[in-house]
Homo-oligomer: A and B are copies of this chain.
């Protein structure tokens, strides 16, 4: 039986007192990580008046020995019922043991409660009593008491369940999604949704009440942005004209700054049609922020304050300011722009050391521009990894990055085992051991080649080998640790994948160039760094933003001359910049991802009430669905059936 906690004991009828108490002393009580079996509901001020406006006197999580003798009315679901003797009643706040009366006078109550199926919803009224000595349940917050029923009512009966509402019962995700309303009764999902609500509320308090931000709702029916291939379309009643569901309120928030709003935020619904992608959702939520007259540091301090203020106490404190690395540093040290800094295993550059070695593939690699030799050292790799693990790591580098990897093992006697050893003298071997800080049983993965490719490959192997070490029992990453990191100084433009002679924005075309690189913009735009910043948490990108271009001429140059895009579709934004647009910048935090990391949920689906499957389907209501041709008429569209389906329809 899951143990639930409750908030501070409180009495009814003290609205005014509780009101102000809860306003001035919001508390986040300490909690274990919620993935543990002993799930607890997040307790807080949010529960103080859960009995207001309804007929219950208490919730199922709050009765204690102090309540003994009181007559209470509880509403909840039958979690468990045993032999007509007692049942366990559950609501969102916890569990209470209910004693079914056995005397003849109450036989109808006994019959009612004994016959009600599990998960039926009932009202019970009764007296709070101490449990008989020895029958207390210290694991249950209400474990000292039980309620002796006087009257009861079955409010709604439950038919046979597709799965049991118990945390330890494993069920397939498809089944959970189909019966999402039943899965929502689990203590884990109750906790997740309530914690999410509370964190967002704290964020709002910080932004709106403490720092003068204005919550502005922006349209979701807008028009297609250039290159907006991932935007959902919405046909309008004007033939051939479509709205588009925007991927973010980017244009609107910039226009709000032009409009003098000064400080904007929104918990914004965003849309992205990426087809089937694991752990992505076609609609998602971001904490969207924009400020005028701000620089990069200003936004960073704001976000650090925001996260610190809204951080659940039960997750331990986070320290600010967050560390910051440049994009180049992140790539060189971790092989990625979203490094997981909870563990070390940094990439080590041994190009200089390698130059003196007479090894052909090494010399060959170093002879190219950006040629490099790098390595990562897997601590205790010999003890925790199997040979096939190392082979699979090497194969992954080959298939995903076209990168050959050489492994070096440090034997128990300190000697090295590798293809390379025959090319290395004793002194060179110990230099290598020193450079890589190798210890007995460590495994080194070495790569030679082009800088970016080598870094990316080793960065990927770093995370994969950490996963393998942990699967084998070595704790490398503290599961309770939260490592925030700013990554800054990204390139402003990247070569297009399909045609590397053309450039595209690394993030979006409104990102301002780094002030030191302004002249490069006109001479060598590939070298220009941007004023973009990413916020990374435990190796996941949880936010990104930038200082924006506020000068119309510069914006036009970037769009037309560098990106070669048709600026006409953005004419309203270019116009706006000409009317005294203030310098401004902002950021967006991915709320679903952030909450799932805070909670330690395996998927963002666990922090969304009604998520879609990875194919973008709602398995409960079966969306999307067919509509009749008549329904399409007023939107002047018709379905272009793929040939096979059209044929099938004909027959």
A522 adjacent to chain B (CB < 8 Å): no
A637 to chain B, nearest CB (A): 5
B580 touches A217 (CB 8 A): no
A109 to chain B, nearest CB (A): 19
A244 to B232, CA, bound (A): 12
Which residue of B has the minimal Cβ distance to A53? B298
Task: Point out the residue from B179, B182, B269, B620 that lies within 8 Å of A220, measured CB to CB.
Answer: B269
Chain B residues contacting A575 (CB-CB under 8 Å) are: 179
Q: How many residues of A contact B (CB 8 A)?
A: 146
Which residue of B has the minimal Cβ distance to A215? B197
A15 to B380, CA, bound (A): 48
Q: CB within 8 Å of B: which of A358-402?
A: none
A618 touches B255 (CB 8 A): no
Chain B residues contacting A608 (CB-CB under 8 Å) are: 217
Interface string of A324-351 (1 = CB under 8 A from B): 0000000000000000000000000000
A90 to B260, CA, bound (A): 9
A551 adjacent to chain B (CB < 8 Å): yes
Which A residues have a C-beta under 8 Å from some C-beta of B?
18-20, 22-24, 26, 45-50, 52-56, 75, 77, 90-92, 119-121, 123, 155-159, 161, 179-185, 189-190, 193-194, 197-198, 200-201, 204-205, 208-224, 229, 232-245, 251-252, 255-256, 258-263, 269, 271, 273, 275, 282-283, 285, 291-295, 298-299, 301-302, 550-551, 572, 575-583, 608-610, 612, 616, 618, 620-627, 631-633, 635-642, 645
Which residue of B has the minimal Cβ distance to A633? B640
A392 to chain B, nearest CB (A): 34
A219 to B269, CA, bound (A): 9
Which residue of B has the minimal Cβ distance to A641? B239
B54 touches A233 (CB 8 A): no
A460 to chain B, nearest CB (A): 29
Which residue of B has the minimal Cβ distance to A159? B578
Chain B residues contacting A642 (CB-CB under 8 Å) are: 239, 636
A118 to chain B, nearest CB (A): 9
Given contacts A241-B624, A576-B181, contact A22 B209 (CB under 8 A): yes
Chain B residues contacting A285 (CB-CB under 8 Å) are: 217
A589 to chain B, nearest CB (A): 15
A484 to B645, CA, bound (A): 56
Task: Point out the residue from B232, B236, B260 that lies within 8 Å of A185, measured CB to CB.
Answer: B260
Chain B residues contacting A624 (CB-CB under 8 Å) are: 221, 223, 234, 236, 238, 241-243
B240 touches A626 (CB 8 A): yes
A239 touches B576 (CB 8 A): no
The 3 closest A-B pairs by CB, nearest first: A184-B259, A223-B623, A158-B580
B583 touches A155 (CB 8 A): yes
A182 to B22, CA, bound (A): 41
A89 to chain B, nearest CB (A): 12
Task: Point out the residue from B224, B282, B612 that lies within 8 Å of A631, measured CB to CB.
Answer: B224
Chain B residues contacting A578 (CB-CB under 8 Å) are: 158-159
A258 to chain B, nearest CB (A): 4
B91 touches A209 (CB 8 A): no
Residue among A119, A218, A262, A581 with most chain B CB within 10 A: A262
A219 touches B612 (CB 8 A): yes
B211 touches A52 (CB 8 A): yes
A638 touches B638 (CB 8 A): yes
B625 touches A220 (CB 8 A): no
A66 to chain B, nearest CB (A): 21
Residue among A179, A233, A238, A271 with most chain B CB within 10 A: A233
A550 to B155, CA, bound (A): 9
Chain B residues contacting A255 (CB-CB under 8 Å) are: 180-181, 184, 610, 620
Known: A20-B24, A223-B624. 17 other contacts (CB 8 A): A23-B23, A26-B209, A56-B293, A121-B580, A180-B259, A181-B579, A183-B259, A190-B261, A217-B269, A220-B283, A222-B623, A223-B618, A232-B235, A237-B273, A240-B641, A241-B626, A572-B622
